[in-house]
Structure 1
Amino acid sequence: MPAQAARHWHPKGLAGFNAAPHALAESLLLRCCGSRRWAERVAAHRPYPTLDALLAAADEAGYDLSGADLDEALSRETAALPHPDAPPAARTALRAAHAAYESGFGHAFVISLDGVPAGERLDRVLFGIRSRLGNEREEERAVAAEELRRLARTRLTRSVAGG
């Protein structure tokens, strides 16, 4: 499969993920969390009997990220954009908040919005950035690592289960 197609491949359920060639599974996993070591580790432990087992393995691999692994994963994250229908003032506020965060911490702001209604997401992101700007660097790395683990779970669930 060409590299371009691999970047957009989605398995047909857990069975498809388990049966996929190693490189293809890693490609999908890297879209969930940008750490190569994380993706290699999760892919290497296939097959998974259930989605819950896959998510548990992803969590465990996430907790074991080294500082360099976390840096790699965070470097591959991008700032979330507001919905195109968001008011211009909200878009400006979000851009400014993201810029302040990235300037202070050296990576994109990450937050899991799983379960947050669409109409509340912009406010949640703005609140999250503003509240976390006061964190010390190491405290924020721990918060960002936890948010990254939560994001990876959501992305992996959507990619594998189609949910």
Structure 2
Amino acid sequence: MPERPPTTGLAWFNSAPPAELSPLLTACLAVPSWVTALLAGRPYSTVDALLAAADRAARSLTAAEIRAALAGHPRLGEPPASAGASARWARAEQAGVPGRDPDLAERLRLANLRYEERFGHVYLVSASGRGGEELLADLWRRLDNDPRTELRVVNRELRAIAALRLRRVLAEDAGPGRVTG
């Protein structure tokens, strides 16, 4: 039986067909121009070069692209509405937000609503490794931002999440049926 080609790592990323990579990249950051830029930049010499290209491409996102990317992110403390890699990763990233604490859940719900009323989109933060109280405090601090400043903060958070997820794309088995967007 022939050996299955590798479905992880930079060599795989550089050689995988675009149709295989596109859904994975979209799960990292759901912006078509970003996905296109990363595909067009292949091959990458190192993981750091790939991450730097991803960051550069995300820095140039328009306000409309940022808002479109936010549409796929769940509210902090709420389960993702979709399935696939993005939802699985979002659950893992929000592991520090305990779902069993009804008081914290209610405070997060109310703060999320207030944030959405102020800025017109979901509150986005790179939640990996951070606890619910810390994330809630960050949300309240960010409510003091003006809309332009907050859009810059959201772009920074999108870049952090995309980098984290890109590392997962390189590390996880992306074989047939394993990872989908």
Calculate the TM-score normalised by the size of structure 2: 0.75
In 2, the alpha carbon distance for the partners of 1:91 and 1:40 equals 37
In structure 2, the partner of 1:96 is: 110
Kept after mapping to 2: 8 A contact 1:109/1:129: yes
In 1, the alpha carbon distance for the partners of 2:13 and 2:117 equals 38
Aligned length in residues: 148
> Is 2:169 the counterpart of 1:155?
no
In structure 2, the partner of 1:106 is: 120
In structure 1, the partner of 2:14 is: 18
- After superposition, the C-alpha distances for 1:55-99 in whole angstroms (9 at most, x for unaligned) are 0000010111122222221222221323333x1101111111111
Kept after mapping to 2: 8 A contact 1:79/1:109: yes
In structure 1, the partner of 2:34 is: 38
1:84 to 85, 92, 99: 99
Which one has a larger percent helix, Structure 1 or Structure 2?
1
In 1, the alpha carbon distance for the partners of 2:67 and 2:19 equals 22
Kept after mapping to 1: 8 A contact 2:125/2:157: yes
| RMSD, aligned CA | 1.7
> Is 2:149 the counterpart of 1:139?
yes
Kept after mapping to 1: 8 A contact 2:29/2:69: yes
> Is 2:46 the counterpart of 1:50?
yes
- After superposition, the C-alpha distances for 1:116-145 in whole angstroms (9 at most, x for unaligned) are 3xxx52012101110001111111101111
Could you tell me which runs of 5 or more consecutive residues in structure 2 were left unpaired when the two chains were aligned.
Answer: 1-6, 78-96, 173-181
In structure 2, the partner of 1:63 is: 59
Calculate the TM-score normalised by the size of structure 1: 0.83
